[in-house]
Structure 1
Amino acid sequence: MTAIDFIPFVERLATVSGEAIMPFFRTAFALDDKNVGGVFDPVTEADRAAETAMRRVIGQTFPSHGLIGEEFGSREAESEYVWVLDPIDGTKSFISGLPLWGTLIGLLHQGSPCYGLMNQPFTRERFYGDGHAAFWSGYNGGNEKTIRKLRVRPCHELERATLMTTSPQLIPAELRPRYEALESKVRLTRYGGDCYAYCMLAAGQIDLVVEAGLNIYDIVALIPIIKGAGGIVTTWDGGEPSKGGAIVAAGDKRVHELALQILNAPEADKS
């Protein structure tokens, strides 16, 4: 099977997860902190319900496939095909009633991301790609579904770039001076996007996304979308991003290279 063969199934997972999540959005629900005593890391009933629903459907349809999920861990993670699930990426926005969150559904084939989808059931948007092409589907405020091909925008100077990160405070203290050195060079910075920021990059609305401390389930689904739209995503040192860590995504290879130069400049640690 190829990534294209899985598209109807991924759409089904998006629908199932959205149905599990939406009864909780902007309502009162139980909330736990997965990192008690550290940086607040919330998890909700909606997170657990959505991942449970997706795991059930995957197990029934593809019992030989592996699974990596944020809420319930891994099984058969060395399989030829592995599903990587983040039921709600952007839980802090979710619990605040803001629509800057989404469900991430990624597929690894022999360890490499081959397909990804971000579903936002409240706004009824889906962003998806296979590394060769990427698309947006939604309703533009009406009832007629629209599908549009995604394409990054050109940007060859940091001084013209718009950068997004979820929060500078989520970047480890030892790396923060490097991030701050980069932020000081760009034209505009916005915070709080989580997975939505990467999709806006693929849609040609922003130019850079820089984060650190990401897990595999935070990034795998987004890689085929960004690459399919013509963008580039690596670790801060230019390496393979699919395991997570410190990540930089760009719409234009030129601005990506400029960002890497600053993120790897030793003098940034002394500023």
Structure 2
Amino acid sequence: MKDFWKQVLNFCQQTTQEVSDRLMTDFGKIQAEQKEDGSLVTKADKWADRTIREAIQATFPSHGVLTEETTHVFPDTDWCWIVDPIDGTTNFTRGVPVWGISLGLLYKGTPVFGFVYIPCLKQAFHGFWYGDSGLTGDTGAYLNNQPIFTSKDDPSPSHLFNLCARSLAILQKPFPCKIRMIGVASYNILLVAAGAAIGGVEATPKIWDIAAVWVIVQAAGGSFVNLDGAEIFPLKIGKNYGNSSFPSLVVSRQELISTFKPLASVITQSPYH
């Protein structure tokens, strides 16, 4: 498996670099259209989606692919890539330099490898998390190939906690940390993996928002909670995930779930849910 994981990592590094070089020429310069679910899409999203799909099919022809801009049905293959070609399209179109390219690799419906590249910041995150899959190989979470770990600190007014635009109802009660709003689901969670934030919440992420970072945050020592209660993975063969959202809480260590889950659960009662 070692050679396979090396191939996977090299593929992600090369592909996201090539795609980001083109995307940077459009960054902050093109207009977006609104999709049926209210999210935005640009011609750059569609180009990046197609380019990444074609690269996967050429390099890993037996692997399935599920992406934000094309097929949302989980395929009947042992291996499947889940791709978000531009996570943070609003930031991308407005010239805000925080947006990313996200690739998650699933084995039998569960993510085991994640890679996210943030081009403007030149930050490449990746991680391996095998769970009970029976797979072996490299382990850990990394930022620019250097190991990263979640914070072991207790919450305090000087620690950061990330919200999304649809999770502000959390602030109806006193909150134990400083709040930040990143505007990019993957980066929200990656900041927890890197130890910069102690936790984060996303109210309506789709499967392509979380597949890669689900791996990375756990590989770094954090915990990922679906606030709806059910397990997100493994995904079901033949199911269309286009309209499925997974309200998520991410914390730097398992012991903090009891602190933040009662506060975060309010987002499941919001009109966006």
Deviations 1:133-163 (A, max 9, x none): 11111xxxxxxxxx42111111334656421
SS in 2 for 1:152: coil
Letter aligned with residue 190 of structure 1: R
Alignment equivalent of 1:110, drawn from 105, 108, 111: 108
Distance 1:31 1:257 in 2: 40
Alignment equivalent of 2:142, drawn from 132, 135, 140: 135
Look up the match of 1:16.
18
Question: How far apart are 1:123 and its partner, in Å?
Answer: 2.1
Look up the match of 1:189.
179
SS in 2 for 1:100: coil
Residue 231 (1) aligns with residue 231 (2): no
Distance 2:228 2:34 in 1: 32
Question: How far apart are 1:113 and its partner, in Å?
Answer: 0.5
Residue 261 (1) aligns with residue 233 (2): no
Aligned residues of 2:150 and 2:194 also touching (Cα < 8 A): yes
Look up the match of 1:124.
122
Aligned residues of 2:201 and 2:264 also touching (Cα < 8 A): no
Aligned residues of 2:86 and 2:102 also touching (Cα < 8 A): yes
Look up the match of 2:81.
83
Distance 2:182 2:96 in 1: 10
Look up the match of 1:141.
none
Distance 1:158 1:257 in 2: 15
Residue 222 (1) aligns with residue 213 (2): yes
Distance 1:259 1:45 in 2: 38
Normalised TM-score (structure 1): 0.82
SS in 2 for 1:23: helix
Aligned residues of 2:64 and 2:79 also touching (Cα < 8 A): yes
Residue 204 (1) aligns with residue 198 (2): no
Normalised TM-score (structure 2): 0.81
Letter aligned with residue 260 of structure 2: A
Distance 2:223 2:264 in 1: 16
1:60-75 superposed matches below 5 A: 60-74=58-72
Deviates more, 1:66-75 or 1:158-167: 158-167
Question: How far apart are 1:18 and its partner, in Å?
Answer: 1.3
Letter aligned with residue 44 of structure 1: T
Deviations 1:149-182 (A, max 9, x none): 1111113346564211221xx24xxxx64x3356
Distance 1:62 1:206 in 2: 35
Residue 31 (1) aligns with residue 38 (2): no
Aligned residues of 1:113 and 1:220 also touching (Cα < 8 A): yes
> How many residues are aligned here?
246
Structure 2 unaligned spans of 5+: 130-138, 236-244
Deviations 1:99-122 (A, max 9, x none): 111011110001110100111122
Cα 1:215–1:127 shift into 2, 3 Å:
same
Distance 1:238 1:155 in 2: 26
Distance 1:187 1:260 in 2: 14
Letter aligned with residue 235 of structure 1: N
Aligned residues of 2:98 and 2:121 also touching (Cα < 8 A): no
SS in 1 for 2:263: helix
Distance 2:172 2:32 in 1: 36
Structure 1 unaligned spans of 5+: 138-146
Percent identity among equivalent residues?
Answer: 25
Instruction: Say what the alpha-carbon RMSD is for the aligned residues.
Output: 2.4
SS in 2 for 1:99: coil
SS in 1 for 2:121: coil
1:154-193 superposed matches below 5 A: 154-157=152-155, 161-167=159-165, 170-171=166-167, 177=169, 179-181=170-172, 184-193=174-183
SS in 2 for 1:260: helix
Cα 1:130–1:102 shift into 2, 3 Å:
same
